[in-house]
Structure 1
């Protein structure tokens, strides 16, 4: 009972994220993805970075238009793709928005106070995840060449 009240107090003390905070994260993630994939604006084929000491990193094109693109960035581990981050890039607005992580709406979809999440908090959670993962990937793969791959 006390643990339940503690969890609720932790969750309810968290400030709701604003549109401007989430939008700033979209902008930051756009800048970061271009460091990892400098030719993203021109990319029209699925690609991979092959790495000797790490998992290969795959970029899968889901949809492409002149001003937007929907992509999945993932490691293919046998028959499982993880973390399988699907995101949309708005090239004209210079924004990156996460659509899903591992086909889930939220990362923490089992916490007891999920009903208290609003759309901005969910967007914050998803886009904070990709921010951290992109920075991890930059450390492992930056400067490595992307190669076209058939999938």
Structure 2
């Protein structure tokens, strides 16, 4: 558990699957002031804009990735009145239907929890140090960030 200004945060980059219910329980355990927990779970899709994939491979730079995710969690806790943040991102070879990422935000009020979760996902989608490779019958292809993802992340620039 990391601590972002007194707010419980947890960041994990791992090959193993996770249980969403258990993670929500860990986040909220012992804090009866939490009024909302927002969760986002990203899954490997079978169909992409380029066709059907058989697997997605995620690579990262150990140490650097965890620090980057901890930094963005700390930024979220500075921007919104949060009571907790959990980010779990998997790496390795994943198949369609597998869970890739979990973002949990907890707050006394739902608006802060929703906005912070969206902020964190926009960051993870565009700026987190992960490299994604889609595998299909045609071979492997590295995936670039899309313009619409960059535009979503850019809207948070300059906001305090």
Q: Give yes or no for TM over 0.5.
A: no
Pairwise TM-score range, normalised by the shorter structure: under 0.3
More helix by share: 1
Larger Rg: 1
